[in-house]
Amino acid sequence: MSNADQSRRRAIHLLDQVLGEGKLLSECYAAGALDKLTAEERARSQRLATDTLRNLERADRVLQKHLKKSTPMTVHNALRVGTVELCRGGAAHGIVNEMVDIIARHRRHSQLKGLVNAVLRKVADQGPTEWAKLRVPRLPKWLRSPLTKAWGAPAMLAIEATHLSGAPLDLSAKPGADLSALNATRLPTGSYRIHGSVQVSGLPGFSTGDWWVQDAAAALPAQLLAAHSGESVLDLCAAPGGKTMQMAAAGATVTAVDHSAGRMARLSENLERTGLSATVIVGDALEQTGQYDAVLLDAPCSATGTIRRHPDLPHAKDGSGFGELIELQAQMLAHAWTLVKPGGRLVYCTCSLLPDEGECQVEDALEMFPDMTVGTRLREIGGIATDWITEEGGLRLRPDFWSDEGGMDGFYMAELRKAD
C-alpha cells in the first residue's frame, strides 16, 4: 500500500469520526487514529481531512449532480476527499485509482468501487470548472445565525473567507531570543508568523527553546495581564501552556492549573524545552484557593474563534452544550475573582466569537462585583486597533482582522481591576 493510499485511508476514517460520530479531530488523534503512520503520512492525512472539512460544502455541491441516491458515509467521504483533491489540481489518474482501491479493500463497501470510479472520473473532467464558480463555504446555520446577528453579514462573509484560507504558524519568543534564522514576519503585536507548511520541530530555535507555537491572538491575554518579576500569578485552564510560558519568561512566579493530565504533561514538556519554570497542578479551577497578585482565566468555551485552525468544530458540534459552558464560565469568573488580592487584577478571556462568552460575561461580572473595574492597559499594547476595543472596555478579536496577513483567532479578553 502506498504512502498516499495510507494517508487517504486515514483521512477518510477521520471524516467518518467527525461527521458520523461527532468527534473532534483532536479526540481522534488522542485515541491513536494516526499512530501507525509515519510523520509524513500523518501530516498528509491531517491536511487531507482539514482541507476536505473546509471545503465540505463545495465538495457536496460538485458531487450532488453525479449521485442519484445516498451512499454509505465512508464511501461518501472517500468521494469528498477525492473531489477536493481533484478540483484543487491533483493528478486524476493517481487519485481516482487509489480511492477505488481503498473502497475495493473495504470489507463492507467493496461492491461500490465501480461507483467511486465512475463518479470521480466525472469529477475529474467537470469538477474543476464547477469548483471555480462556487461560493466560499458557509458555516452551518446553527452557528452562522448567531454570529451574523453579532457581527453583521459582511463581517460573517469575511470570517468565512478567512476560515477557508486556514491559518499560518504563529510563534511567541522568549525575551532576548534571536529569531532571525526563521523565515518569519514580526506582527504588530510582537508575535512571529510563518506562512506555508513547515515541520515545527525542525525549525531553528525549537530544540534550544527560543520560542513556542501560539496564535497571535492567544498571545495577547498574557500581554494584557503584564505579569512581572516579584508577582505571584495564577494561570487557570492553563494547558497547553503558551500563556504560562509568557508569564514565566517575564519573571513572574506562576502557578498553572488545568484539569487535563495529558495536556498538563505537554505543558511540562514545553516548560522543560524552553528552560522556564512554573508550579504545575492538575486540578479543578473551581477548587483552587489562595491569593495572587494577578490571575489569568482562559475559560473553557465553544472555541468558535479557532475554526480557521480547527475546521472540524462546526461539523462535530451543534451548539447544544454552549449553555452549560456559559454557566461554567460565569462560575469560574466569580471564583477567580476571590483569588485576586486587593489592588490586583484578573484577565478573563475566551477563544470564542460569541458575545455571550465574552462581552456579556464581563458586563454581568461588573454588575455583580462592586470592587471590579475594567483596566485600560490594552490601549498600551502595540498593534491594537482602537475599533477592536469594546463598549465595556474589553478587546474583541475576529478571524478576519489582519486578513491580508493570514488573519487571527477569534478571541475576547478584558483586564479586570480589584479595588484596594
Among residues 85, 101, 131, the one where a domain terminates is 131
Residues 209 and 306 in one domain: yes
pLDDT above 90 covers a percentage of the chain that reads 96
Grid cell for residue 269: 514538556
Name the catalytic one among 87, 237, 349, 351: 351
Question: Given this model, what pLDDT does residue 2 score?
Answer: 58
In the chain, what percentage of residues exceed pLDDT 70?
A: 99
Average pLDDT over residues 323-331: 97
Task: Determine, yes or no, domain membership for 163.
Answer: no
Phi, psi of 355 (to 5 degrees): -55, -30
Looking up residue 287, the CATH number of its domain turns out to be: 3.40.50.150
In a shared domain, residues 126 and 51: yes
How much is the average pLDDT of 362-382? Answer: 96
Q: Which amino acid is at 335?
A: H
Q: Same domain for 123 and 187? A: no
What are 217-229's pLDDT values in tens digits? 999 999 999 999 9
pLDDT value for 5: 84
Does one domain contain both 351 and 269? yes
What's the domain range around 325? 169-418
Of 102, 131, 160, the one marking the end of a domain is 131
- Evaluate whether residue 148 is within a structural domain: no
Query: Are residue 255 and residue 382 in the same domain, yes or no?
Result: yes
- Output the pLDDT for position 4: 59
If you average pLDDT over residues 303-323, what whole number do you get?
A: 95
Q: Are residues 235 and 374 in the same domain?
A: yes
- Quick check: 68 pLDDT over 90? no
Under the banding of pLDDT at 50, 70 and 90, the label for residue 183 is confident
Q: Give dist(CA 184, CA 208) in Å, integer.
A: 17
The domain total for the chain is 2
Last residue within a domain, chosen from 110, 131, 152 = 131
351: annotated active-site residue: yes
Q: Is the same domain home to 243 and 342?
A: yes
Q: Kindly report the CATH number assigned to the domain that includes residue 46.
A: 1.10.940.10
Instruction: Count Cβ atoms below 10 Å from residue 390 Cβ, excluding itself.
Output: 17
3-state secondary structure of 397: strand
